[in-house]
Structure 1
Amino acid sequence: MKESQFNRGMLNFLKKSPTPFHAVLNMSAILDKAGFQRLSESDAWALKKEGRYYVTRNGSSVIAFTTGQADFPETGIRMAGAHTDSPCLKVKPLPEKVSHSYLQIGVEVYGGALLNPWFDRDLSLAGRVTWLTSEETVESALVDFESPVAVIPSLAIHFDREANKNKSVNPQDELPPILLQVEDNDEALFFRDILADRLRAEHPEADVAEILGYEISLYDTQPPAQTGMNREFITGARLDNLMSCHTGLMALIGASGDLPCLLVCNDHEEVGSASVSGAQGPFLEAVLSRLCPKAEDRLRAIDRSLMISADDAHGVHPNYAAKSDPGHGPLLNHGPVIKINASQRYASDSETVAAFRHLCRRADVPVQDFVMRSDLACGSTIGPLTATRIGVKTVDVGVPIFAMHSVREMAGSRDGFYLFRALGQHYA
């Protein structure tokens, strides 16, 4: 695969995946097309050698794997991991608010989002809706309004002369977006009615008697793009961490299939991963127990395995270079980053770092190092959580980006392809 083809596919995936539910739906379609067989956790599994399989949980996490030709305890499993969620604004259960003729909806902040970039954007709504049918059954489906249907207008500088010096955001009072304008004599408008109308438009076959619940997020409708005078950058929403999901998926699909390989993409990393579909949950452990039903075989396989936890890294920002450690400031378009932290916020150690560095050398891929400044707090990833729960040797890596957790992030156009090649070597 050429770099240009890889980037086109990644941009399309980012555009079509406004929520973790949509990301997993799109990954499932790609896996189906590549000949992977879908499994259900509620069914008995009859796995075969040289098989290609995948399973989802909650519609927002996915594990795809190949069984290879050899026995798991003898070869181990080449693993990679990423996460499907990104910081965003989620609609509250009873969100309606009419103020001065404007219908607004209340939102909660999901994850450690940069809030100021959400103002003055053309926003849309997407997510999962669950409803009751006329026959008293419960069903769910995804919706995506696609077009701009909401905006969070900034306060004019005339009312806040200090806005450019010190701007903080109160999520409760300042983030409710405007959806439409209403008149005093209009009938009461409810967000669930709006959702029901959209659900029927997208799914005409749906028998919607009553909306029982939803998980709906706001997202920026501006599509991702390849930017820069030489098209050397990629900008868009949810680069953290859908870039890693797509990259790992493409690498797994391109693997020879001779050795056991696995990709896990968990939800809820941005809020701590403590959920049924998060890295602190039992999803990966449950799948591994079905791949290797005997405990001793499973422990032997895990001891011979390596997990590459892929999550975007901080590039050194030219306007804020002092925020980076002087010796560990990764540059965009200079290759994937190995992330190291003495307090085990990253799971990398000397042996797993060496293993990934060797993979990059074999794939002819440049590699960089990241260590947080000693006077700043360090984030974390699914790496330490997976290593703790499963006991698998793990290295934390990622593509360097700017504006992490903003509504629009920025990466180098070559780095995703570099990581793809490194993961391809891992799966070879």
Structure 2
Amino acid sequence: MSEPPRFDRGHTDDLMSFLAAGPSPYHAVANTAERLEKAGFRQVSETDAWTVTSAAEAAGSSGGKYVVRGGAIVAWYVPEGAAPHTPFRIVGAHTDSPNLRVKPLPDAGAHGWRQVAVEIYGGPLLNSWLDRDLGLAGRLTLRDGTTRLVNVDRPLLRVPQLAIHLDRSVSAEGLKLDKQRHLQPVWGLGDDVRDGDLIAFLEETAGLPAGEVTGWDLMVHSVEPPAYLGRGKELVAGPRMDNLLSVHAGVAALTAAAASGSALSSIPVLAAFDHEENGSQSDTGADGPLLGGVLERSVFARGGSYEDKARAFAGTVCLSSDTGHAVHPNYAERHDPTHHPRVNGGPILKVNVNNRYATDGSGRAVWAAACERANVPFQSFVSNNSMPCGTTIGPITAARHGIKTVDIGVAILSMHSARELCGADDPHLLANSLVAFLEG
């Protein structure tokens, strides 16, 4: 354990900027692509031919490439002289977070209030969205089929909580929220609620002609910026750490590994999927064809055969990086009594014998070797036997592609809240371990 860390608190500073710039999966992907471009990576279109004789032969040749599909991005770096059967080393993550998303007919209201009709996405801590200043961001689809990102990053909406004077039972019985009736945000006043008001407002905001938008994928977000917390600023509070923290670490690690060039013995990959929070079953989710298609086409573009693809996949390893649970000081009994991950104690290895996580003993050895090389400590997480265990893209990736997968991440508090909490050192410790893994 002699190699010094490559990233420090400056990485955490940059993470905070990344979180703020990613109010939707589409913004997170655009931000990731911009960082890859600055590092010399070039975008490849899925609709182009990737054969070595085509104009897009760069998809198979050496250098950094990436593919964008909606809220997902797959990026990879082919070292000089890589054979068709060269295995991949993959960092997997996801770009989506639980939140409130705008319905197809967004304009609603009652009793003089203008409201936005929203649907619950994933499994958010509903109470964390109450009485919070909210913006609106996402993707607009135009008449010609192109898309435009939009981000109203100012206080625009609010989900007001009922005053305690009108619900005296809340102190004794706890807050009870009906997902349909109690979570529709207000965004103005007026009795005349007209269909198209919200979209017209967003068209004006984006500088588009009236009636140009024919489709949308919109979601609310907290406009409070990420911030350091604590006596020694040893904590970070911010939105969407689950799981933009891992996406950020992954792109930093990929670009650092690419700088190693021909010294790499594997092809480093970053795969950041959408829709993890609702099952990953989409064309941009981990249970879709995106990753397998990209890896397979990369093999064939380098002149490989089906046999080369099978050899490459057999030697491939994926780290499924997602946030996990730090021991909570107020609810320690909810955790396994012998596994208490602490913030700033290093990234965690996530284990579940019922395959809710994909880690096994040989995967643990891969992870331990990467952490040792990076001079990074790591911790182990396993759920309390009496508590149901969450899951990740790890088991899906392992089963769909037949590749060894290990579940890891950073321990946080307030997971699925509108504002989560992590240690200020853990993000750069994760990034350092990912570099060591990708360089393999």
**TM tier, smaller:** over 0.9
2:322 alignment partner in structure 1: 311
Q: Secondary structure at the match of 1:149?
A: strand
Task: Give the aligned CA root-mean-square deviation in angstroms.
Answer: 1.4
Structure 1: stretches of 5+ with no match in the other structure: none
Change (3 A) 1:87 1:72: farther
Q: Single out whichever of 270-279 and 297-306 deviates more from structure 2.
A: 297-306
Alignment of 1:66-77 (within 5 A): 66-72=77-83, 75-77=86-88
CA contact (8 A) 1:82 1:245 kept: yes
Alignment of 1:273-422 (within 5 A): 273-293=280-300, 294-422=305-433
Q: Single out whichever of 4-13 and 416-425 deviates more from structure 2.
A: 4-13
Alignment of 1:238-277 (within 5 A): 238-255=240-257, 256-258=260-262, 259=264, 260-277=267-284
Cα distance in 2 for partners of 1:2, 1:80 equals: 17
The residue type paired with residue 282 of structure 2 is: S
Cα distance in 1 for partners of 2:386, 2:199 equals: 46
1:44 alignment partner in structure 2: 49
1:57 alignment partner in structure 2: 69
Q: Secondary structure at the match of 1:171?
A: coil
Residues 73-117 of structure 1: per-residue CA shift (max 9 Å, x gap): 554111110000000000111132221100012211100111011
Structure 2: stretches of 5+ with no match in the other structure: 1-5, 51-56
CA contact (8 A) 1:50 1:257 kept: no
Q: Single out whichever of 29-38 and 138-147 deviates more from structure 2.
A: 138-147
CA contact (8 A) 1:143 1:199 kept: no
2:19 alignment partner in structure 1: 14
The residue type paired with residue 92 of structure 2 is: G
Cα distance in 2 for partners of 1:194, 1:65 equals: 39
Give aligned pairs, total: 417
TM-score normalised per structure 2:
0.92
2:179 alignment partner in structure 1: 171
Q: Single out whichever of 192-201 and 21-30 deviates more from structure 2.
A: 192-201
User: Of 115, 127, 139, which residue of structure 2 is paired with 1:116?
Assistant: 127
The residue type paired with residue 257 of structure 1 is: G
The residue type paired with residue 132 of structure 2 is: R
Cα distance in 1 for partners of 2:212, 2:179 equals: 30
Q: Secondary structure at the match of 2:232?
A: coil
Cα distance in 2 for partners of 1:28, 1:266 equals: 14
Residues 219-242 of structure 1: per-residue CA shift (max 9 Å, x gap): 111011111111111111100000
Q: Secondary structure at the match of 1:5?
A: helix
The residue type paired with residue 247 of structure 1 is: A
CA contact (8 A) 2:85 2:309 kept: no
Q: Secondary structure at the match of 2:157?
A: coil
Residues 107-162 of structure 1: per-residue CA shift (max 9 Å, x gap): 11100111011100001111111132xxxx33321111111111111111111122
Alignment of 1:68-217 (within 5 A): 68-72=79-83, 75-132=86-143, 137-165=144-172, 166-182=174-190, 184=191, 188-190=193-195, 192-202=196-206, 204=207, 206-217=208-219
Cα distance in 2 for partners of 1:253, 1:63 equals: 13
1:3 shift after superposition = 1.5
Q: Secondary structure at the match of 1:261?
A: strand
The residue type paired with residue 53 of structure 1 is: K
The residue type paired with residue 128 of structure 2 is: P
CA contact (8 A) 2:89 2:318 kept: yes
1:425 alignment partner in structure 2: 436
Q: Secondary structure at the match of 1:420?
A: helix
The residue type paired with residue 195 of structure 1 is: I
Change (3 A) 1:351 1:73: farther
Cα distance in 2 for partners of 1:208, 1:51 equals: 43
Cα distance in 2 for partners of 1:118, 1:48 equals: 45
1:48 shift after superposition = 4.9
The residue type paired with residue 277 of structure 1 is: T
1:164 shift after superposition = 3.0
Change (3 A) 1:209 1:157: closer
1:358 shift after superposition = 1.4
Cα distance in 1 for partners of 2:350, 2:79 equals: 30
Is 1:27 the counterpart of 2:32 in the alignment? yes
Q: Secondary structure at the match of 1:332?
A: coil
Cα distance in 2 for partners of 1:131, 1:54 equals: 25
Q: Secondary structure at the match of 1:69?
A: coil
1:9 shift after superposition = 1.1
Change (3 A) 1:241 1:332: same
Cα distance in 2 for partners of 1:6, 1:21 equals: 22
Residues 374-393 of structure 1: per-residue CA shift (max 9 Å, x gap): 11111100011011111110
2:54 alignment partner in structure 1: none
1:360 shift after superposition = 0.5
1:172 shift after superposition = 0.3
Cα distance in 1 for partners of 2:414, 2:241 equals: 10
Cα distance in 2 for partners of 1:374, 1:303 equals: 33
1:266 shift after superposition = 0.3
